[in-house]
Structures are given as C-alpha cells and as structure tokens.
Amino acid sequence: MNRETRVNLLLLVLLLAVPFVADALGQTFTVTLVTRIAILALAAVGLNIALGLGGLVSFGHAAFFGIGGYAAGILASHAMSGEPMLFGFEGSAQMPVIWIVAMLAAGLVSLAIGVISLRTSGVYFIMITLAFAQMVYYFAISWPAYGGEDGLSITLRNGFPGLNTMRPTEFFLVCFGVLAVALVLSALLSASRFGAALQAARQNEVRLASIGIAPMPIRLTAFVLSAMITAVAGALYADLNRFVSPSMLSWHMSGELIVLVILGGTGRLMGPVAGAALFVLLEFWLGGITERWQFFLGLILLVTVLFARGGVIGLFAGKERHG
C-alpha cells in the first residue's frame, strides 16, 4: 500500500468514526458538522472530475448543486401537499428517487451548458459557466411557485429505506455512503481508459486529437458526470438544512467548491474530502474567533496555491504518481 492510499484510508476512517464518538458523548452539533463535511466533499468530488482530471475550471457548479437542492425541496413539497406536478407525478419524500431526479435534471442542464461552454477554454470557459449559473440563480429567485427569493423549507427530512434520517448519525451514514460510492466511482474513472483520455485532454489537447481522440466528447462526458455527482450533494445539503434557497445557486457557492478542491489537492482522489474537512473546520474555529475568518481562509488559499500545489493531500502523501 503506498503512502497516498494510507493517508486516504486514515481520512475516511476518521470521517466515519468521529460522528459516532461525538454522538456517544452527546455532541450532536459535531455530527452535523461532519455531515456537512461529507456533503461538501461529495460536491467537490463531482467538481474534481471536471476541474482536477479534466482541467475544466467550472465556475458554475453551484447551478448543479442548487438544482439538486431544489429537486429535493420541490419533490418533498409536492409529496407533502399531495399536489401533482408534471405528468401527475406527486413528488417524493424518498431520497433515492430524489437523487435520480436531481441527477437527471442536472445531467440535462449540464449537457446544454457544456455543449456551449466547452467550445471555449481558459478564462472564457470560467466566465461562460459563471454566466449560465447566474441565469439559473436569477431564474430561481424570480420563480414564486417555489419560494422565490425566500427559498423553500423541507418540513420533514426526506427518508431513506431502512433508516431513520431524522437521527443525525443515520443521516450521516447515508451521506457517508453516497460519498464512498462517489469516491469509488471517481477512482475507477481516473484509472480507466476514459480517465486517461480526460487527463490527456487537460495536459495536451493537440496531442490527444492527433492520435485520433476528439477532446470535446471526452470533456462533455466528464462535465456531465461531474454535474450529476454535485447535484446529489445538493439534494443532501438541502436535506441537512431542511431548507433550500437561491443562495445554493449563487456564485459564492461555485467559488467555495473550487476552493475546496484546490485546498485538498486538485485532481487527487481524496483531495475534496481533505479540502472540505479543512474548510468546514476553519469556518467553525476561525469563525468562532473572528467574523473575518475568510481573510484567514484567503491567506491559507494563497499559501496553498503558491507553495503547496498538491494541497492537503500533497502535503501528507507527496507528489502525485502516474503509472
């Protein structure tokens, strides 16, 4: 087992153990905190596929995060009121159904956004993804049926077969489970043929084309997969807060997700988990000391970008290895 695998396992074990210890000690707040870490990590695992492996700096992933959130909110509200929505579908308060809807919705939207945005690159790609996300944001604000600017409450956290999701540790288990599945998928993906082509597209697009692999379809697929994973995180995030509002769709959220990926280690399997953990803990501790905690977050980000490109994972596990 190499060093990175050991660091990764340690992180996962810690993430899994802390909530149960905290719960035994009656520290419910800590359970919520770690659940938040797991969910943000999941969102960043999604973004990491586009940004880390594919080099696609999407500044619009809040759109997919928010679409996931609204999928949870809207389906739950219909299930609650019994009012049918499209095609007589009466909504659902079951997480698996919500996740599928969230993935489908985000998949379709990201396909449309990707087809247009991926014609550009560099700064233009960043700006065009931002622009699309802002369109979704303003759409949510001006759509009164689901709360508009005020957002939408989820009265009862949506359910998962066999578990009581109102109990913090059980809801945490759901989030951790989804995160684990996403990590396995992400590991398989990056080692696969597709992953090889995607990473090649990031490093040398001309080379990739000249051996006969068109970069566009590879990138588009990565972008859509990335969005779908982030959407599931959005649905869980809405369930965690039992509330969804346009702020989930705002560009702050997009920026936060990019920060998570960079802090943890761009393109590294567990980078998003390490990044999310660091981010949430900093927010909690520094936020307790000073209101201007983001100033210090900025400093840390600066140091990471200047001196520790591999992020937290790079710090503990060394440089990335390619076969």
Partner 1 sequence: MAEPVLEIRDLHKRFGALKATDGVSLDLRPGEIHALIGPNGAGKSTLIHQICGTLRQDSGAIRLAGQEIGALSVAERARLGLGRTFQISSLIGAFSALRNVMLAVQAGAGSSFRFFRPVMRDRGLRDQAMARLERVGLAARAHVPASDLSHGEKRQLEIAIALALDAKAFLLDEPMAGMGPEGSKVLTGFLDSLRHEAPILLVEHDMDAVFALADRISVLVYGRVIATGTVEEIRRDPTVRTAYLGDHV
CB of 160 to partner 1, least distance (A): 26
Specify the stretch interacting with partner 1 by CB under 8 A; choose among 40-48, 138-146, 158-166, 217-225.
217-225
* Nearest by Cα to 132 from 51, 235, 59: 59
Question: With contact defined as beta carbons under 8 Å apart, do 190 and 199 qualify?
Answer: yes
Burial class, 108, CB count within 10 angstroms (exposed 0-12 / middle 13-18 / buried 19+): middle
Question: With contact defined as beta carbons under 8 Å apart, do 151 and 243 qualify?
Answer: yes
CB of 268 to partner 1, least distance (A): 13
Specify the stretch interacting with partner 1 by CB under 8 A; choose among 40-48, 54-62, 204-212, 288-296.
204-212
CB of 55 to partner 1, least distance (A): 12
196 binds partner 1 (CB under 8 A): yes
Q: Which amino acid is at 120?
A: T
Specify the stretch interacting with partner 1 by CB under 8 A; choose among 26-34, 37-45, 107-115, 216-224.
216-224
Specify the stretch interacting with partner 1 by CB under 8 A; choose among 90-98, 191-199, 279-287, 296-304.
191-199
Q: Distances from the Cα of 170 to the Cαs of 15, 231, 232, 301, in angstroms?
A: 14, 21, 17, 33
DSSP class per residue in 9-74: HHHHHHHHHHHHHHHHTT-HHHHHHHHHHHHHHHHHHHHHIIIIIT----S-HHHHHHHHHHHHHH
CB of 126 to partner 1, least distance (A): 23
The runs of H, that is alpha helices, within 192-292 are 193-203, 205-210, 215-241, 251-264, 271-289
CB of 140 to partner 1, least distance (A): 32
CB of 218 to partner 1, least distance (A): 6
Burial class, 254, CB count within 10 angstroms (exposed 0-12 / middle 13-18 / buried 19+): buried
1 binds partner 1 (CB under 8 A): no
- When binding is defined by CB under 8 A, the residue of 19, 91, 168, 195 that contacts partner 1 is 195
Question: With contact defined as beta carbons under 8 Å apart, do 268 and 311 qualify?
Answer: yes
Beta pairing partners, 152: 244
181 binds partner 1 (CB under 8 A): no
- When binding is defined by CB under 8 A, the residue of 24, 26, 193, 291 that contacts partner 1 is 193
Specify the stretch interacting with partner 1 by CB under 8 A; choose among 78-86, 143-151, 190-198, 284-292.
190-198
- When binding is defined by CB under 8 A, the residue of 87, 212, 289, 291 that contacts partner 1 is 212
Specify the stretch interacting with partner 1 by CB under 8 A; choose among 112-120, 214-222, 237-245, 251-259.
214-222
- When binding is defined by CB under 8 A, the residue of 104, 131, 189, 286 that contacts partner 1 is 189
323 binds partner 1 (CB under 8 A): yes
196/301 with CB nearer partner 1: 196
85/189 with CB nearer partner 1: 189
* Nearest by Cα to 239 from 24, 27, 77, 53: 77
Find the helix packing angle between 61-81 and 28-48, rounded to 10°. 130
Q: Distances from the Cα of 289 to the Cαs of 52, 180, 286, in angstroms?
A: 32, 33, 5
155/210 with CB nearer partner 1: 210
- When binding is defined by CB under 8 A, the residue of 119, 207, 292, 309 that contacts partner 1 is 207
Residues that bind partner 1 (CB under 8 A): 188-189, 191-197, 199-200, 203-204, 206-215, 217-218, 221, 320, 322-323
